[in-house]
Amino acid sequence: MGEFARFGFNDLLYLVRGAYTTIQLCGIAFLFGGLLGIIVGIARSNHKITAFRWIAGVYIEIFRGVPLLLQLIIGYFAPSVLGWDISVFLAVSIVLCLYTGAYLGEIFRSGLESIHKEQWEAASSLGMKYFQSLRYVIIPQGVRVIIPSIIGFLVALVKAICLVSILNVVDLTLAAQRVAVRAYVPLLAMGSAALIYFVICYPLSKIGQRLEAQSKRSEA
């Protein structure tokens, strides 16, 4: 009961604010990283322009091959070395967008390449250009294939954002650490943070399962 007595409403509110920062960073990364991922996925699956495939491939391999923690540290210090004055929040947001774009780009590539060539030929026979075929035929079918992977990455992204705490960004993890130290309630603070992470991630995983089931029923 000692920890409960020391854990007050302000501590809980501080954790909620940290959770908001986590969700905010995740939303920014998923939105802009998703748009970047679509472009990268299309470029990576383009077999006509080799330069686009090569550039997209190098980008994906770099951001998937380097640990996110190192990317965040480099992204934090690089602007100051170049003489740019940007906030730490903006720096980590840019890194998370690039990181997300690389992973979603590879996911989108796998979705696009999973569509049979006959679908491309059918779209071409209807007089559709390359981007029209993508928009109206290929992408709608590819998205159904990659929904589980996208949701799985989103859940992983929520948890990976805890790494921004090393740069003093007050996300849910750093908020819990500060509450644990200030009020000396390590178990309660970390347990509350774990519960909040679960509340965020569990609905996402259930949504992914439901969308996957709906996709299978529509294909049946």
For the chain, what are the domain ranges? 2-219
For 1-11, the pLDDT digits (tens) are 556 667 788 99
In angstroms, the CA 58 to CA 51 distance is: 11
Q: What local confidence, expressed as pLDDT, does residue 2 receive?
A: 58
Residue 111: predicted pLDDT? 84
Res 80: pLDDT: 86
Range with the largest mean pLDDT of 92-101, 111-120, 211-220: 92-101
Average pLDDT over residues 156-181: 95
- Residue closest to 145 by CA, chosen among 211, 58, 87: 211
| Ramachandran category for residue 171: left, alpha or beta (phi over 0 → left; psi -120 to 50 → alpha) | beta
Range scoring the smallest mean pLDDT among 105-109, 144-148, 175-179: 144-148
97 CB-side CA count, 13 A: 14
Question: Given this model, what pLDDT does residue 113 score?
Answer: 81
The residue with greater pLDDT, 131 or 81, is 81
Q: What is the pLDDT of residues 96-118, one digit of tens each?
A: 999 999 999 999 988 888 777 77
pLDDT at 129: 74
* In CATH, 2-219 is 1.10.3720.10: yes
User: What mean pLDDT do residues 57-85 have?
Assistant: 94
- Mean local confidence (pLDDT), 2-28: 88
What does pTM read for this prediction?
Answer: 0.89
**Within 161-185, where are the H helices?**
172-183
